[in-house]
């Protein structure tokens, strides 16, 4: 349980007292999980360095006061962690009865699959019996939780594990060491569609604590003959208090801005509104401790904050007043020239040290990796001394965002972004069927068929009115992780510009697509078609895309040699040098064709 919870352990203790059972809980711990203390951000641990285990937080107090509360339960624990420890714990404390509620974290955090988690549970049972042969055991199945975007696997994996566990327990049970199933999932009001029993879509609130205790009591009565009556859930359950935080203070600090406030006893978390005054942008964050540091900020930027207590949907406090502070950042600027490349199970990074103000005193870097293919993932930060690192253990076929930050004694600075990477893949095939639509006279929308091997795409453009102009990256609008992009401020009009697209995977680039000259706003789209089962797009369509034999380095400064001499069919108005809307065939077309090696028609083909 969390500090300030009653806990299902306490509700089960109350039931045992009412039943006259004289329960004596045993184990190495007595308290609840306590929120992390408010500390300054710290650099990521060095990859390959000597790590240290995080201390176990079990010294929090209970809402119901002191009771016989010994246990061997740790917040966030996995069967994979306890399986090697349970024998010594059982041997030391010699319990008559072992209550087990494990498994969600193994499945939910990809530690193992359903069958692997069942195997772990069987090993845990065997190891517990090695500590005491005639041990009685009650094993809970795993509850569903509210749906997490991108985790469509979790509900069926949970259901499969529960099915396997229900079938396995009778085969594990023996006369001298009986095992009973606790139907946690069937008695807990939590599902992918909602979770009135939980404060965060999974972990129990005051009502959920009663439901879990009731499930265990029912199993003990019906399966092991311990007790006579089931636990009755109260109708007037007391809930946690959630007062508005007090003493909110914001100060400029060496790492940017630091805000603190007095902790609220038992708070599950806090919501923070953080506003960049200069940009006029705000974001709402949720965290579990009473401190927040705005670190990726320029020196001199002004920030505003408000905070409230969040104990789940049923108990959210009012917001505090607004506090303001100006950043006094002394953190390093971003590293430069961040280069990424895919490996079979990871990403290879290299970069250049930052230069300029605050670039001295850098003692390490952090390579940031975020799994785009698994929504809800955390950003992982890998520490390194030096300017290169290979991160391993990533999932082949998954798309990752990348960046690198530098650390000095004041904190971590703005990250420098690298190209995204699809792990385990090489250079993607060239995009196909590029299509252009004029949204406005100076704005064009581009769409194309991409590849799942591409982490992103680069958009290239050139003026068709200048014979010396060459394809160039389109500046602020030149990257897209989608199979579409919009390019703006195309003066004197979109029909004066040609566009091509390349795919990239880290530092590996595809050949360029067929190039198109944008139509005028009154004309039909050029290029395409885009869509259908054979066209990979970011809406999830499956691609059947093959690379052309032509390869092109997007850093070339010359116009590539033609590989196709026929334009796509269908005449459309052509670009002209005057910049006005083209209304018909233009005499400049033949000159254009000769001077910059394009063909007239609705697509320019190299």
Inter-residue contact 512 to 499 (CB < 8 Å): no
Inter-residue contact 142 to 109 (CB < 8 Å): no
Handedness of CA 200, 205, 211, 216 (dihedral sign): positive
User: Fold match between 8-224 and 249-326?
Assistant: no
Residue 492, preceding peptide bond in cis (omega within 30° of 0):
yes
Query: Measured between alpha carbons, how far is 25 from 120 in angstroms, rounded to an integer?
Result: 24
The mean per-residue pLDDT over the stretch 248-253 comes to: 98
Query: Measured between alpha carbons, how far is 156 from 145 in angstroms, rounded to an integer?
Result: 12
Query: Measured between alpha carbons, how far is 446 from 477 in angstroms, rounded to an integer?
Result: 11
Six token digits for residue 307: 């905070």
Q: What is the CATH number of domain 432-596?
A: 2.60.40.10
Radius of gyration of the chain (CA): 31
Region for residue 243 given its phi and psi (left: phi exceeds 0; alpha: psi -120 to 50; beta: otherwise): beta
Domain ranges of the chain: 8-224, 249-326, 336-422, 432-596
SS3 annotation, 426-468? CCCCCCEEEEEEEEECCEEEEEEEECCCCCEEEEEEEECCCCC
The mean per-residue pLDDT over the stretch 61-71 comes to: 88
Six token digits for residue 441: 């006279």
DSSP labels, 348-397: EEEEE---STT-TT--EEEEEEEETTSTTPPPEEEEESSSEEEE-SPPTT
Q: What is the CATH number of domain 8-224?
A: 3.40.50.1110
Q: State the pLDDT at residue 605.
A: 26
SS3 502: strand
pLDDT-derived band at 476 (thresholds 50, 70, 90) equals: low
pLDDT > 70? residue 572: no
Query: Measured between alpha carbons, how far is 260 from 524 in angstroms, rounded to an integer?
Result: 57
Task: Classify strands 443-449 and 432-440 as parallel, antiparallel or unpaired.
Answer: antiparallel
Q: State the pLDDT at residue 50.
A: 61
Q: Which pTM does this prediction carry?
A: 0.77
CATH topology of domain 249-326: Immunoglobulin-like (2.60.40)
Q: What is the CATH number of domain 336-422?
A: 2.60.40.10
Closest CA to 74 of 53, 45, 44: 53
**Residue 68 or residue 317, greater confidence:** 317
How confident is the model over 83-130, as pLDDT tens digits? 999 999 999 999 999 999 999 999 998 899 999 999 999 999 999 999
Query: Measured between alpha carbons, how far is 49 from 69 in angstroms, rounded to an integer?
Result: 37
Q: State the pLDDT at residue 544.
A: 30
Q: State the pLDDT at residue 594.
A: 23
């Amino acid at each position: 349980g969390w500090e300030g919870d009653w806990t299902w352990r306490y509700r089960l203790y109350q039931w045992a007292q009412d039943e006259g059972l004289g329960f004596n809980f045993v184990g190495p711990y007595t308290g609840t999980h306590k929120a992390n203390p408010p500390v300054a951000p710290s650099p990521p641990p060095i990859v390959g360095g000597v790590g240290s285990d995080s201390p176990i937080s079990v010294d929090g107090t209970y809402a119901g006061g002191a009771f016989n509360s010994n246990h061997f339960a740790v917040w966030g624990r996995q069967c994979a962690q306890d399986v090697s420890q349970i024998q010594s714990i059982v041997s030391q404390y010699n319990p008559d009865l072992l209550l087990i509620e494990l498994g969600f974290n193994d499945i939910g955090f990809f530690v193992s699959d359903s069958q692997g988690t069942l195997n772990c549970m069987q090993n845990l049972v065997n190891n517990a019996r090695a500590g005491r042969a005639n041990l009685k055991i009650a094993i809970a199945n795993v509850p569903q939780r509210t749906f997490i975007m991108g985790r469509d696997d979790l509900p069926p994996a949970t259901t499969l594990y529960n099915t396997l566990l229900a079938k396995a327990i009778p085969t594990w049970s023996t006369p001298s060491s009986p095992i009973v199933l606790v139907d946690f999932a069937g008695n807990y009001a939590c599902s992918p569609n909602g979770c009135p029993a939980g404060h965060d879509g999974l972990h129990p609130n005051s009502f959920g604590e009663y439901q879990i205790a009731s499930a265990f009591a029912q199993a003990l009565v019906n399966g092991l003959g311990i007790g006579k009556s089931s636990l009755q859930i109260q109708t007037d359950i007391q809930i946690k208090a959630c007062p508005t935080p007090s003493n909110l203070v914001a100060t400029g600090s060496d790492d940017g801005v630091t805000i603190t406030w007095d902790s609220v006893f038992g708070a599950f978390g806090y919501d923070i509104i953080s506003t960049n005054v200069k940009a006029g942008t705000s974001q709402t964050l949720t965290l579990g401790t009473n401190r927040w540091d705005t670190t990726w900020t320029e020196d001199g930027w002004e920030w505003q904050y408000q905070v409230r207590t969040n104990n789940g949907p049923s108990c959210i406090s009012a917001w505090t007043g607004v506090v303001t502070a100006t950043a006094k950042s002394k953190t390093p600027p971003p590293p430069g020239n961040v280069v990424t490349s895919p490996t079979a199970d990871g990403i290879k990074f290299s970069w250049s040290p930052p230069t300029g103000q605050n670039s001295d005193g850098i003692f390490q870097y952090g390579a940031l990796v975020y799994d785009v293919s698994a929504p809800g993932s955390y950003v992982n930060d890998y520490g390194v001394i030096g300017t290169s690192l290979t991160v391993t253990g990533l999932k082949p076929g998954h798309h990752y965002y990348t960046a690198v930050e530098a650390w000095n004694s004041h904190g971590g600075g703005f990250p420098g972004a690298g190209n995204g990477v699809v792990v385990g893949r090489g250079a993607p095939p060239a995009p196909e069927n590029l299509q252009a639509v004029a949204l406005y006279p100076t704005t064009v929308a581009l769409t194309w068929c991409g590849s799942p091997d591409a982490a992103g795409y680069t958009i290239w453009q050139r003026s068709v009115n200048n014979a010396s102009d060459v394809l160039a990256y389109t500046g602020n609008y030149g990257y897209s992780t989608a199979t579409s992009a919009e390019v703006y401020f195309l003066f004197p009009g979109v029909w004066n510009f040609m566009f091509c697209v390349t795919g990239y995977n880290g530092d590996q680039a595809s050949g360029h697509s067929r190039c198109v000259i944008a139509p005028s706003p009154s004309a039909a789209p050029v290029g395409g078609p885009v869509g259908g089962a054979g066209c990979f797009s970011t809406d999830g369509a499956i691609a059947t895309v093959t690379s052309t034999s032509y390869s092109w380095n997007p850093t070339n400064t010359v116009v590539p040699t033609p590989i196709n001499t026929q334009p796509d069919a269908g005449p459309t108005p052509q670009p002209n040098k005057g910049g006005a809307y083209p209304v018909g065939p233009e005499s400049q077309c033949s000159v254009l064709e000769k001077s910059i090696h394009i063909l007239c028609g609705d697509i320019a083909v190299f």
